[in-house]
């Protein structure tokens, strides 16, 4: 049995006997406190070895226990906003035995998933959706005449900065819903903006008509989110109150694990760490990740161009902008979880002569699809989109795969859409984007680590819309976009050992497409294989087919990429293969084509 952080060893026998939330209904407050400690210890045991979202999960242990004690899931619907706070919920709802498979292929998802359990009322992975979902469920219950069902959204103060939470508030009148505001003052980085500042001041003395009550929502709190007894008392009270109500709960992210409380940003999702000391175990200290390289590059570019500014929706750390923030604190804007605003705010900066680099994860840019079209591309504003976590993201799973961006950006007029293959190309592409002022310029890159330590080199401008030949070959040409080129290179290495020599071209740009290079490829090679780290529906392969059609070529084209289904969690290496464009899959495809 692992030692407890609080040096107070407790037998695990309570948690071992919890098969469903029914099993905690009759526990005493003292037992619930012990249970909370056991859950916390169990999460630490598992997540220290099988990495996941630690901080948020540790923060809501008591809240989860209290909610499942007071409410009757799955009849009562509990929706966990963003979802990575749901580990305790998963452990209490029949998934303890499988919890060690967390975020692994075929294992327990890191986010709520109705496919996984009837206790997960709604799939959540992106922020700010829970209130809307719960309102829909509450209206359904009302129409069905089902007055006994409770509907609860648990949303963080970070999630509250997303506009759709306010859209839901605007529609909340008359609905029997409980919003549990899990206020820990932090998303991944410290929360920014007025809402967060405002929450700190609650309750304002003599001013009971607060922001929420102005919107017709009964406000309760703030209460201590680690006091199980207090939580149960207040939850039982608000449960009986008609109409929309909000319970403001103060929690500590990383609660109960000293290192996680001290460095909340790092322990949001720390990777493997020492269960006793909390030391984080770094895997590959020698190489930088693509996001890190992008962050370093932006600092270098900004040092030479005072018009460059950075905009990020709550991803200072995620997008490796900490150095930028230190060096240019006036030139970086953290909007909170607010992708729509981040993009249109960037458009406003660009309209006034600045050069914004809007750094957004691919999956979250989906939130600002309309703003990219309507506020940026339509006006040809030179916003640079630094699109992080593009392609398969891996362990975060279906809600976080960045597989749609190539397809959805390809159909937007005026956009330059690039996907650098390696770390040197990423640097040069960002440099190129910084000098391009005719229209928006997207640079999408993977979450992967680079392969080498990056040499110190001057920046080189890349001709916009031009690809490059990496390798001549025989019969078959691999035409890759972005990180897919690295996967292809591995396959080519193996094929060479067997005296097979496919050519390799790196497109670099999805848009504009290098038709000159493609004409060369189609003229010289019998078989063309396109490979992209994104959906094949509407993406790069389709663009190559459209080229082929337009120019009347008849070569055989094989399109490798993400198939038309949602891709669950797993390592990226596993998922590349499962999707048919990992090195082994590429190798097999080439062998198959060569033999046919």
Contacting a copy of itself (CB under 8 A), which of 121, 390, 495, 507? Answer: 121
Strands (E), 112-250: 151-156, 178-183, 218-224, 245-250
* C-alpha pair distances (Å), 454 with each of 278, 390, 582: 30, 21, 24
Contacting a copy of itself (CB under 8 A), which of 48, 192, 428, 434? Answer: 192
Contacting a copy of itself (CB under 8 A), which of 309, 419, 426, 495? Answer: 309
Region 53-92 residues binding a copy of itself, contact defined as CB under 8 A: 77
Q: Counting contacts by CB under 8 A, is residue 248 touching a copy of itself? A: no
Task: Return the H-helix or E-strand segment holding 528.
Answer: strand 527-535
Using the minimum distance from each CB to a copy of itself, give the nearer residue, 354 or 501: 354
Q: Counting contacts by CB under 8 A, is residue 203 touching a copy of itself? A: no
Using the minimum distance from each CB to a copy of itself, give the nearer residue, 66 or 531: 531
**SS3 call for 245:** strand
The question of whether 62 is a catalytic residue gets the answer: no
3-state class percentages of the chain: helix first, strand second, coil last, to nearest 5: 40, 15, 45
Q: Counting contacts by CB under 8 A, is residue 216 touching a copy of itself? A: yes
Using the minimum distance from each CB to a copy of itself, give the nearer residue, 273 or 581: 581
For the CB of residue 93, give the shortest distance to a copy of itself in the complex, in Å.
17
**Beta pairing class for 503-506 and 476-480:** parallel
Distance of alpha carbon 60 from alpha carbon 85, whole angstroms: 7
Contacting a copy of itself (CB under 8 A), which of 17, 170, 236, 304? Answer: 170
Stretch that binds a copy of itself, among 61-69, 190-198, 437-445, 580-588 (CB under 8 A): 190-198
Inter-residue contact 314 to 161 (CB < 8 Å)? yes
Handedness of CA 389, 390, 392, 396 (dihedral sign): positive
Q: Counting contacts by CB under 8 A, is residue 476 touching a copy of itself? A: no
Q: How many CB atoms lie within 10 A of CB 167?
A: 12
For the CB of residue 214, give the shortest distance to a copy of itself in the complex, in Å.
4
Stretch that binds a copy of itself, among 231-239, 288-296, 361-369, 488-496 (CB under 8 A): 361-369
Beta carbons within 8 Å of 517's beta carbon, 6+ residues apart: 466, 467, 468, 469, 505, 507
**SS3 call for 273:** strand
For the CB of residue 349, give the shortest distance to a copy of itself in the complex, in Å.
4
Strands (E), 26-175: 77-80, 151-156
Q: Counting contacts by CB under 8 A, is residue 209 touching a copy of itself? A: yes
Stretch that binds a copy of itself, among 316-324, 326-334, 448-456, 516-524 (CB under 8 A): 326-334
Q: Counting contacts by CB under 8 A, is residue 373 touching a copy of itself? A: yes
Q: At what angle do helices 290-304 and 423-434 cross, to 10 degrees?
A: 30
Region 506-565 residues binding a copy of itself, contact defined as CB under 8 A: 535-539, 541-543, 545-546, 548-549, 552, 554, 556-557, 559, 564-565
Task: Return the H-helix or E-strand segment holding 219.
Answer: strand 218-224
What are the beta bridge partners of residue 391?
Answer: 402
Distance, C-alpha 583 to centroid of its chain? 25
Region 435-464 residues binding a copy of itself, contact defined as CB under 8 A: none
Handedness of CA 303, 304, 310, 316 (dihedral sign): negative
Contacting a copy of itself (CB under 8 A), which of 135, 488, 492, 500? Answer: 135
Catalytic residue among 38, 62, 339, 395: 339
Q: Counting contacts by CB under 8 A, is residue 384 touching a copy of itself? A: no
Stretch that binds a copy of itself, among 30-38, 285-293, 371-379, 432-440 (CB under 8 A): 371-379
Q: Counting contacts by CB under 8 A, is residue 166 touching a copy of itself? A: yes
Using the minimum distance from each CB to a copy of itself, give the nearer residue, 61 or 302: 302
Catalytic residue among 34, 90, 96, 253: 253
For the CB of residue 339, give the shortest distance to a copy of itself in the complex, in Å.
8
Closest Cα partner for 448 from 423, 425, 471? 423
Q: At what angle do helices 163-170 and 130-143 cross, to 10 degrees?
A: 30
Pull the structure tokens for residue 23. Answer: 């099993």
Q: Counting contacts by CB under 8 A, is residue 501 touching a copy of itself? A: no
Q: Counting contacts by CB under 8 A, is residue 126 touching a copy of itself? A: yes
Number of residues that bind a copy of itself (CB under 8 A): 110
The question of whether 253 is a catalytic residue gets the answer: yes
Q: Counting contacts by CB under 8 A, is residue 344 touching a copy of itself? A: yes
Task: Return the H-helix or E-strand segment holding 170.
Answer: helix 163-170
Question: Which residues are part of the catalytic machinery?
Answer: 253, 339, 367
């Amino acid at each position: 049995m692992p030692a407890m952080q609080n040096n107070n060893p407790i037998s695990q026998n309570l948690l071992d006997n919890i098969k469903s939330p029914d099993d905690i209904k009759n526990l005493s407050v003292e037992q619930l406190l012990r249970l909370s400690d056991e859950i916390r210890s169990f999460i630490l045991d598992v997540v220290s070895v099988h990495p996941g979202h630690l901080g948020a999960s540790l923060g809501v242990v008591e809240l989860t226990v209290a909610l499942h004690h007071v409410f009757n899931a799955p009849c009562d619907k509990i929706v966990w906003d963003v979802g990575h706070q749901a580990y305790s919920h998963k452990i209490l709802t029949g998934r303890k035995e499988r919890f060690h498979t967390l975020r692994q292929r075929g294992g327990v998802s890191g986010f709520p998933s109705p496919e996984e359990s009837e206790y997960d009322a709604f799939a959540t992975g992106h922020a700010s959706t829970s209130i809307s979902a719960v309102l829909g469920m509450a209206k359904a219950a009302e129409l069905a005449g089902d007055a006994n069902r409770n509907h609860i959204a648990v949303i963080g103060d970070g999630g509250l900065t997303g506009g759709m939470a306010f859209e839901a508030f605007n529609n909340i009148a008359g609905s029997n819903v409980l919003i549990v505001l899990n206020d820990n003052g932090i998303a991944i980085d410290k929360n920014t903006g007025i809402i967060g500042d405002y929450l700190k001041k609650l309750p304002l003395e003599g001013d009971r008509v607060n922001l929420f009550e102005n919107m017709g929502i009964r406000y309760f709190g703030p209460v201590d989110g680690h006091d199980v007894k207090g939580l149960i008392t207040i939850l039982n009270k608000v449960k009986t109150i008609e109409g929309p109500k909000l319970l403001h709960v103060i929690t500590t992210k990383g609660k109960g694990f000293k290192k996680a409380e001290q460095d909340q940003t790092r322990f949001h999702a720390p990777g493997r760490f020492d269960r006793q000391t909390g030391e984080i175990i770094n895997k590959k200290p020698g190489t930088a990740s693509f996001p890190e390289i992008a962050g370093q590059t932006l600092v270098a570019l900004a040092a030479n161009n005072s018009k460059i500014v950075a905009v990020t929706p709550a991803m200072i750390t995620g997008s490796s902008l900490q150095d930028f923030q230190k060096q240019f604190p006036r030139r970086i804007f953290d909007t909170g979880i607010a992708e729509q605003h981040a993009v249109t705010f960037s458009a406003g900066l660009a309209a006034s002569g600045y050069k914004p680099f809007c750094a957004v994860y691919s999956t979250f840019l989906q939130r600002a699809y309309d703003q990219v079209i309507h506020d940026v591309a339509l006006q040809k504003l030179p916003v640079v989109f630094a699109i992080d976590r593009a392609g398969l993201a891996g362990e975060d799973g279906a809600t976080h795969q960045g597989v749609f961006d190539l397809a959805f950006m390809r159909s937007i007029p005026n956009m330059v859409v690039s996907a650098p293959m390696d770390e040197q190309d990423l640097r040069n592409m960002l440099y190129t984007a910084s000098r391009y002022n005719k229209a928006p310029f997207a640079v999408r890159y993977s979450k992967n680590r680079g392969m080498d330590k990056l040499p110190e080199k001057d920046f080189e401008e890349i001709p916009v819309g031009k690809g490059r030949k990496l390798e001549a070959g025989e019969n078959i040409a691999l035409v890759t976009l972005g990180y897919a080129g690295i996967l292809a290179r591995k396959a080519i290495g193996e094929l060479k050992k067997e005296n097979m020599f496919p050519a390799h071209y790196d497109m670099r740009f999805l848009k504009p497409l290098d038709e000159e290079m493609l004409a060369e490829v189609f003229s010289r090679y019998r078989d063309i294989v396109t490979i992209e780290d994104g959906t094949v529906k509407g993406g790069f392969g389709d663009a190559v087919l459209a080229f082929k059609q337009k120019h009347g070529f008849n070569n055989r084209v094989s399109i490798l990429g993400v198939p038309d289904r949602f891709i669950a969690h797993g390592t990226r290496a596993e998922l590349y293969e499962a999707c048919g464009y990992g090195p082994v899959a590429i190798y097999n495809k080439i062998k198959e084509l060569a033999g046919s």
